[in-house]
Amino acid sequence: MHITINGTSQQLISVKNLSEIVSSYCKQSKHVITELNGTIIPSDQWSKTNLQDGDALELVTFVGGG
Partner 1 sequence: MTDSSLVIAGKSFTSRFLLGTGKFKNKKDLSDSITASGSQIVTVALRRIDLERHEENILEHIPSHITLLTNTSGARNAQEAVRIAHLAKASGCGNWVKIEVINDSKYLLPDNQETIKATEILAAEGFVVLPYISPDLYAARALVKAGAATIMPLGSFIGSNQGLKTKEFIQVLINEIDLPIVVDAGIGAPSQAAEAMEMGADAVLVNTAVATAQNPQGLARAFALAVEAGRMAYLSGLPLKLPLGSASSPLTGFLYDELPAN
Using CB under 8 A, list all residues that contact partner 1.
Answer: 5-8, 25-28, 30-33, 35, 40, 42, 58-66
CB of 63 to partner 1, least distance (A): 5
CB of 10 to partner 1, least distance (A): 8
CB of 12 to partner 1, least distance (A): 14
What is 31-42 written as a DSSP string? Answer: T-EEEETTEEE-
User: In a 10 Å sphere around its CB, with 0-12 CB exposed, 13-18 middle and 19+ buried, how is residue 57 labelled?
Assistant: buried
